[in-house]
Structure 1
Amino acid sequence: MLAKFSVRLKTVLLFLLIFYLLISFTSDFFNAKPSIPNGILSSGGESTNETEKLSEESTTASRFHLPTETTTAAIDNASAIASPSPPFKSALKDSDATLLDTVPAYIKAIMDPEDTTFPRLDCPVSNDHRYHYLNTKSSETLHDSTTNLRPKYFFALDLHQRASLLPRLFGSIVESIRFLGPQNCALSVIEGRSDDGTFEILSSLRKEIECIGVKYYFNSSGIDPSAGDRINAGDRIKGLAELRNQALQPLMDYHYEGSSMDDTTIIFLNDVAICSEDILELIHQRRYQHADMVCGMDWTYVGPDPTFYDVWIARGMNGDTFFEIPEDGSWDSAWNIFWNNPIARERIWEGKPFQVFSCWNGATAFTAKPFLESKIRFRGSHEHECPQGEPMTWCTEMWHLGYGKIAVIPIVNVEYSDEAATKIKDAKGYVSGWVGRGGESDARIEWESTPPVALKCMPNYGNQTWVPWEKQLGGMDPAPRGVDLV
């Protein structure tokens, strides 16, 4: 009898234990918060993981010369000191822990112009007297907790695998922003596919950039233009165009109050070694010349002497390339720049700005107005158009819209490495050296309102023809000849 009671008691106790465990499990299950895997975003586009917020990066392209193109990528996420960040969708990736140890030294070099941790192009202090008017400190441009004005200066970059260049490139950008006034500036960077620390450095730079009061837009893209057909470059150019548009997208997406579209200058930089005075001179000349777009001159060393780099994109007011390239692709005539354009040839050697049909040349500053009005975007070539780089198509459509005041500022000279840029500055001079010679750089441009009748089409060196400029407008209606420039 006692044995039977003992068995029954154990059975009841076991039942009660199982019931208690079931109740506990059910309570925990329904009260627990679900975890979200890395890379999943909330409906507002904000990262749900603090680690993700520190690792929003992207892809890149840098140089746009036909035979040796680098690729570009895109970035978006944002935050700001004075106002909330826009809700961007992001393609996030994790930082490489093995590269994070190197980040603090790069950040210090970028933020401190006196830092000598890394060898970089030596740059002079910018001319306060020449550029001081660019820093608008009136109450109309200052941000506060209730106002978010469109930035006067919007810096945009696409970068890939360029960690070694960041101390000089971003150091000069930060110097320029400090000079122009952080309240007047925004920075948008597209990084992609880098495994040399570029992603980690640019991601970690956010805190420092925002601490000085600048909106920092940073995002990742998986677009790889280099994966396209190298013979038929159409897909590659479309990829590069998309990446450029991604870098500019924050300017379109974010709601800005009050400020005029006429006031915003976009400064789009390639992966170049550049000084702050180069950047400021481009912005100054766009204002001083009442230009729609200005470019520097980018160079490369294919031998002991420098060669103009962006020859595939740039066209003079005669519609031709800056130097002659025969069908065999030889660059032997690269020294003979503007061989058939006497006006441009004279002005480049005198350091005077001159009008061109198209340029990009490693560094450019242009009006944001047609972009903000949704009249223009970077794009690849359409069917029946001459296959060409997206900056040349951009310039063609700028002309069509009445923004044909496009100029080269020949005292701004850049290269794609610190070492070679030092040689270029020795050969071509610094901006401050030219400005001190007696005002050549301040010569006014006499603008032509009519574009060249025809442009040299050069999809490759062995296939060069002349085409009417209007045929490069895709679906746009041809602009009237002699259209008044804005």
Structure 2
Amino acid sequence: MNFFENERILPTFFQELPVLLQHLGPQKVYISIFENGSSDTTPILLNLMAELLDSIGTPHRIITLGTSDIPNKEEGYRIAFLARARNKALEPLYNGAAAREMRSRAFDEVMFMNDVAHCAVDMVEMIYQKRKQGAHQACAVDWGGWGGQVVYDRWVLRTMSGRPFYRWEDMVYYVRAPDPEDGKEKPFSQPLLYDDEDRARFLANLPLQVFSCWNGATVFNAAAFFPPHNIRFRTARNDPDESGSPRSATDKASESYLMSVDLWKAKMGKILLVPRASVSYWPWDYYAYRKDAPLSDTFNDADEMVEWKLEPPPLVAMQDFARWEEVERWGAWDEP
């Protein structure tokens, strides 16, 4: 995990992380957190979290740098910073320190959480579906941010047809349209208008395969980070400078999106979106849109299973530089 000025959301982690660890087994999980640049009480709270983890017997490494390490997130360097911060959090996995401390030969899974409101049951559902479906990566659904019941992750989330969840013109109209005078929420189009089967599954809270996702919380096969794959968080390599060489730092694509791309390149394209696992960067949106309804009496376990596609879409809609107000550019799925 990475944190930056998150004193308002960290109480959620103090409440829910012990519940999740008790379910998974507190001594079977290694927690790694990297924080830098925070000028609020985030470092103090993370030091208290270390004491909490000690009390329940969960091994951990928590690095708090506060204002001694101010990140450079100016234009062109934001994704390079985020990739470095995420790799720093996974350093105990990469160098074997976590396995040595736990006297374990290998880890099965790696879960990454952003600074999101959530409940332990959301993370359990995400992990459960990953294991049940045999996925290489599984993601929650992050709600809010745009206003109303809208999935937030516009930059990373792509369907198996290569499209974003919502049409570009619908997003632009929704954001720019005035709020109704009666105080009600602005109406918004249905998601996945180009993908009827996926839309039906999503609206029924059934898991579905996607090309890429992150959505605030995700879990991977740990094998992706070890030989022969050695996948790491990185920046895009398709933004050349004046000489034609790849820029050392660019914000053209999200490091989270590139993680899914690299999984496909490693023949690990079973990537799953789990609608019943909800998170949000805004607590009020989380409580408004989380999926609490019990399974219906007609629920059939077989209906939940995904029919995996083993080949990616030939083209994917790219939202270069996160410019959501601009029309997407279609490009090859394996752009570097």
TM category, shorter: 0.7 to 0.9
Partner residue in 1 for 2:153? 310
Shift of 1:253: 2.1
**Segments of 4+ moved more than 6 angstroms:** none
> More deviation in 201-210 or 289-298?
201-210
Alpha-carbon spacing, 1:188–1:336, altered in 2? closer, same or farther (3 Å)? same
Alpha-carbon spacing, 1:241–1:301, altered in 2? closer, same or farther (3 Å)? closer
| Residue type at the aligned position of 1:309 | Y
What is the alpha-carbon distance in structure 1 between the residues aligned to residue 63 and residue 96 of structure 2? Answer: 15
Aligned to 1:238, the other structure's residue is in SS state helix
Per-residue displacement from partner, 1:273-318 (whole Å, max 9, x unpaired)?
1111111111111110000000011011433x22210011110000
Partner residue in 1 for 2:278? 413
State whether residues 141 and 277 of structure 2, in contact with CA within 8 Å, keep that contact through their aligned partners in structure 1: yes
Alpha-carbon spacing, 1:467–1:159, altered in 2? closer, same or farther (3 Å)? same
Partner residue in 1 for 2:331? 467
Partner residue in 1 for 2:247? none
Structure 1 regions of 5+ residues with no counterpart? 1-156, 475-486
What is the alpha-carbon distance in structure 2 between the residues aligned to residue 162 and residue 349 of structure 1? Answer: 32
Shift of 1:440: 6.0
> More deviation in 200-209 or 400-409?
200-209
Map of 1:20-419 to 2, 5 A cutoff? 157-220=1-64, 222=69, 224-225=71-72, 227-229=73-75, 234-255=76-97, 256=99, 259=104, 261=106, 263-303=107-147, 305-326=148-169, 329-331=172-174, 335-373=189-227, 375-384=230-239, 387-419=252-284
Residue-pair matches, total: 305
What is the alpha-carbon distance in structure 2 between the residues aligned to residue 346 and residue 340 of structure 1? Answer: 12
Q: Provide the alpha-carbon RMSD of the alignment.
A: 2.4
| Residue type at the aligned position of 1:338 | L
| Residue type at the aligned position of 1:467 | G
| Residue type at the aligned position of 2:117 | A
What is the alpha-carbon distance in structure 1 between the residues aligned to residue 254 and residue 153 of structure 2? Answer: 10
What is the alpha-carbon distance in structure 2 between the residues aligned to residue 401 and residue 465 of structure 1? Answer: 24
State whether residues 308 and 334 of structure 1, in contact with CA within 8 Å, keep that contact through their aligned partners in structure 2: no
| Residue type at the aligned position of 1:252 | Y
Aligned to 2:140, the other structure's residue is in SS state strand
| Residue type at the aligned position of 2:233 | F
What is the alpha-carbon distance in structure 1 between the residues aligned to residue 297 and residue 23 of structure 2? Answer: 20
Shift of 1:375: 1.9
| Residue type at the aligned position of 2:265 | H
Shift of 1:218: 0.9
Alpha-carbon spacing, 1:384–1:207, altered in 2? closer, same or farther (3 Å)? closer
Shift of 1:161: 1.6
TM-score (norm 2): 0.83
Shift of 1:325: 1.4
Alpha-carbon spacing, 1:465–1:301, altered in 2? closer, same or farther (3 Å)? closer
Shift of 1:245: 0.7
Partner residue in 2 for 1:121? none
TM-score (norm 1): 0.59
Structure number with greater Rg is 1
What is the alpha-carbon distance in structure 1 between the residues aligned to residue 92 and residue 70 of structure 2? Answer: 18
Alpha-carbon spacing, 1:352–1:206, altered in 2? closer, same or farther (3 Å)? same
Per-residue displacement from partner, 1:146-198 (whole Å, max 9, x unpaired)?
xxxxxxxxxxx111122122222332111111111111111111222223311
Shift of 1:238: 1.1
Per-residue displacement from partner, 1:85-142 (whole Å, max 9, x unpaired)?
xxxxxxxxxxxxxxxxxxxxxxxxxxxxxxxxxxxxxxxxxxxxxxxxxxxxxxxxxx
Shift of 1:463: 5.1
Identity in percent: 29
Structure 2 regions of 5+ residues with no counterpart? 176-186, 241-250
What is the alpha-carbon distance in structure 2 between the residues aligned to residue 254 and residue 383 of structure 1? Answer: 32
